[in-house]
Amino acid sequence: MSYLVLARKWRPRTFPELLGQDSVVRALRFALSEGRVHHAYLFSGIRGVGKTTVARLLAKALNCEQGMGPDPCGICSACQEIDAGRFADLIEVDAASRTKVDDTRELLDNVQYAPTRGRYKVYLVDEVHMLSTHSFNALLKTLEEPPPHVKFILATTDPQKLPVTVLSRCQKFALRRLTDTQIRDHMAAILRKEDLEYDDEALVALSRAAEGSVRDALSLLDQAIAAGGGAVRAGAVRDMLGAVAPDLVHRVIAALVDGDGATLLASIDEAYSLGVAPEAFLNDIVRVWHDIAVAQVLSAESADAWTQEMAQRLLPEAVQLYYEIGCLGRRQMGAAPDPETGLRMTALRMLAFRPAGDESSKPQIARLSGAPQDRRRGGAQEGGATPPGQPPVRPVNARGGAAAAGGNPAEQRPAEQRPAEQRPAEQRPAEQRPAEQRPAPSVSVVAETAPAPGGSVLERLGLAGLMKHIAMNAVLDKSGDRVVVTVDPEAGKLLNKERVDMLKEALCAYYKDPITLEVVVAPVTGTPTHLRREAEEAAQRRAREALAADPGVAALKRTFNARVNEGSMRPRDGTPEERET
């Protein structure tokens, strides 16, 4: 007896056996049970999700000798002949090979004749989008008003190519792509019924390679059984797919996190020597970044121990950066001299654009709970000193990359012309010096409505992203160990328990003492954002007044009938003395 491939052997024979198309099955079963069967159906979806299978099940339900209904018996001659593909009244047409209008007219000439054996004559037109325009025009009238004994079932992978006149005459059902989990469980059930051994890791790789198609998955499964000598083994599947072992991908990720360029390139060379396609290797790396990001957001307990560990070590923004670099590298790989070079350069780019100070492995909460001086990104102290045990922080340019050593223009300027945080500690304002060089404060901060020199407490917490936005739209009032932070309602929409806890951690680190924090959402004035906006408006107003009083501008207005475009006016930064220098 000839071998029957798994995709044909395990084709669903009833509606309940159909995998992952519950909404389509529910609608068709109701139509069959109530006798509300439409004369034309259109099933769309990617290859191998069950379009032809649904059409054959519908044909069985319509022509079962036990009576029309949602549960055909499967044992009568009509059901068995439909399963075998030899039922006379089920006419299957491959539109890809019969695209001419003459083929369509020949097909339609037989529509008027009654069924030979069954209750209905069912026309199944596969890949219907391949028909020519003339063929569609010839089909339209019959498709709209067929004889009562005829049903049309159209199947396509590209419904956008069908004319709207055809779409309007059909009931449309979109069969969905199946998830990796659904495909994996389906393959596992088949292997158990076939009494074959398998590795879970192998099924994960096969289900991912199937890309949502059950037929592709079962075809790959057939190949994997042959490659594994009667069993589905992870090593054989990796060799078959040209995939890489997870531990090698983990080694690459760990090398990136640790800044170990030698191990990074050695791991890539090892994958290349094993015959792994560079595109597939980069896809696996990007997929791992995705898994780590999901574990960070959802705290997924289902993730493996290695992924959970990386989710704890890495900052979310670092993971997002690595993921974006990987996706861009995958897109640019075609422009590289060869795929291997594209993979190596993408990995080196991830290494080069690691967060400043190589401290991406520190959780954000840990940074906030450090000393008040240690609040800058990457762990650098406000005084410019590097914390013990950490590599020196490289300057970061405006594009996000680390500047070359000695190449930062700010470092080459005289000390008095550099920004305050880049000057030597003894030349900085008192509030920006290291703690041991600051003068002892004479009074404590009582209310945020009287900002401390150098900016408010909330501005100096070193927060970033959404936390910085919340802090810039809030005011703070401190009395003893009780701190009340009033947040503007617009920014208050961003608050949640986690962000309140982060704010409390940052304030405890700033005051160096435990505090009791109360967060209130209410309309408020005097926030850093309000004060900054008022200062900008005042500067703009002074600029307008100065321009209006300028005799040169007045002369231009008189001589040339000129007028001032106030929208283009900008205040000049700094004091008059600073502008003269």
Is pLDDT of 84 > 80?
Answer: yes
CATH of region 267-358: 1.20.272.10
Q: For domain 180-241, give the fold.
A: Helicase, Ruva Protein; domain 3 (1.10.8)
Q: What is the DSSP string of 97-153?
A: T--SHHHHHHHHHTTTSPPSSSSSEEEEEETGGGS-HHHHHHHHHHHHS--TTEEEE
Which whole number is the average pLDDT over 300-314? Answer: 81
* C-alpha to C-alpha distances, 357 to 151, 268, 300, 377, 390, nearest whole angstrom: 69, 25, 29, 8, 7
Percentage of residues of the chain with pLDDT beyond 70: 80
The pLDDT of residue 570 is 67
- Break the chain into its structural domains and give their ranges: 6-174, 180-241, 267-358, 447-581
429 vs 345, more confident: 345
Which whole number is the average pLDDT over 485-492? Answer: 88
- The first and second tokens of residue 23, run together, are 């909404």
The pLDDT of residue 356 is 59
213 vs 544, more confident: 213
26-36, pLDDT tens digit by residue? 999 999 999 89
Average confidence score pLDDT of the chain:
79
97 vs 157, more confident: 157
* C-alpha to C-alpha distances, 368 to 346, 419, 460, 483, nearest whole angstrom: 32, 24, 12, 17
109 vs 388, more confident: 109
Is pLDDT of 362 > 80?
Answer: no
Is pLDDT of 518 > 50?
Answer: yes
Q: Please list the residues that pair with 126 across neighbouring strands.
A: 94
Calpha distance 225→354 (Å, rounded)? 43
The domain covering 447-581 belongs, at the CATH homologous superfamily level, to DNA polymerase III, tau subunit, domain V (3.30.300.150)
Which whole number is the average pLDDT over 455-472? Answer: 82
Q: State whether CATH 3.40.50.300 applies to domain 6-174.
A: yes
96 vs 328, more confident: 328
Residue whose entry in the numeric block shows the structure tokens 């896809």: 283
Which whole number is the average pLDDT over 489-503? Answer: 86
CB < 8 Å & 24+ apart, contacts of 295-304: none
Which whole number is the average pLDDT over 168-190? Answer: 93
The pLDDT of residue 54 is 94
577 vs 246, more confident: 246
Given CA atoms 136, 141, 145, 146 in this order, what sign does their dihedral have?
negative
Which whole number is the average pLDDT over 190-206? Answer: 91
Calpha distance 214→187 (Å, rounded)? 9
The pLDDT of residue 357 is 44
Q: Please list the residues that pair with 159 across neighbouring strands.
A: none
Which whole number is the average pLDDT over 515-536? Answer: 86
Find the Cα–Cα–Cα–Cα dihedral 32, 36, 39, 43, rounded to 10°. -60
Is pLDDT of 209 > 50?
Answer: yes
Which whole number is the average pLDDT over 224-237? Answer: 90
* C-alpha to C-alpha distances, 114 to 81, 147, 157, nearest whole angstrom: 19, 9, 31
- The first and second tokens of residue 65, run together, are 């000798």
Report the candidate in 85, 210, 212 with the shortest Cα–Cα distance to residue 222.
Answer: 210
The pLDDT of residue 450 is 36
Going by pLDDT thresholds of 50, 70 and 90, the confidence category of residue 302 is: low
Is pLDDT of 235 > 80?
Answer: yes
The pLDDT of residue 508 is 87
